[in-house]
Amino acid sequence: MKLTLKREYFDTYTAGKLYVDGLYFCDTLEDISRPVKIKHETCIPEGVYKVVVSYSPRFKCKLPLLLNVPNFIGIRIHAGNITANTSGCILIGKIKNNRLFSSKSTLTNLLTVLRRSKDEIVIDII
């Protein structure tokens, strides 16, 4: 299964669209891109990363985890509404201005799709 995150808007936050096997799934919200990483305030570098669904001690539930992200650890796709909720991770939902809505239900839907996959899951961030 291939997830594609197309970043489209860059300001004080980064907004994009998430596709599952080429079909639009939801909007995304991330921290801004920086030439030098600032912990909890920088989006991850563009690239292709393997994704696994695993238990998150922070969120106390299973969430998608991006593996082998350079200079980052614990990068997850999770629910949230504003960039202060990202901590370098990818938030999903429906974006309006710089906020996400329906984030929890979008996450539930994504987890259902990912759990059905029998193939390796990757995300291509462009």
Six token digits for residue 35: 């030439």
Residue 8: CA count within 13 A, CB half-sphere = 13
Q: What gap in Å lies between CA 111 and CA 64, rounded to an integer?
A: 8
| Full-model pTM | 0.95
Longest dimension (CA), the chain: 37
Q: Mapping DSSP to helix (H, G, I), strand (E, B) and coil, where does residue 94 land?
A: strand
Dihedral sign for Cα atoms in the order 65, 20, 13, 100: negative
Q: What is the pLDDT of residue 98?
A: 86
Domain ranges of the chain: 2-125
Six token digits for residue 66: 């991006």
Spell out the per-residue pLDDT of the chain, length 126, in tens.
Answer: 999 999 998 888 999 999 999 999 999 999 998 888 888 899 999 999 999 999 999 999 999 999 999 989 999 999 999 989 999 999 999 999 889 999 999 999 999 999 999 999 999 999
CA angle 50, 41, 75 (to 5 degrees): 20
For residue 85, the 8-state DSSP code is G
Residue 79: CA count within 13 A, CB half-sphere = 15
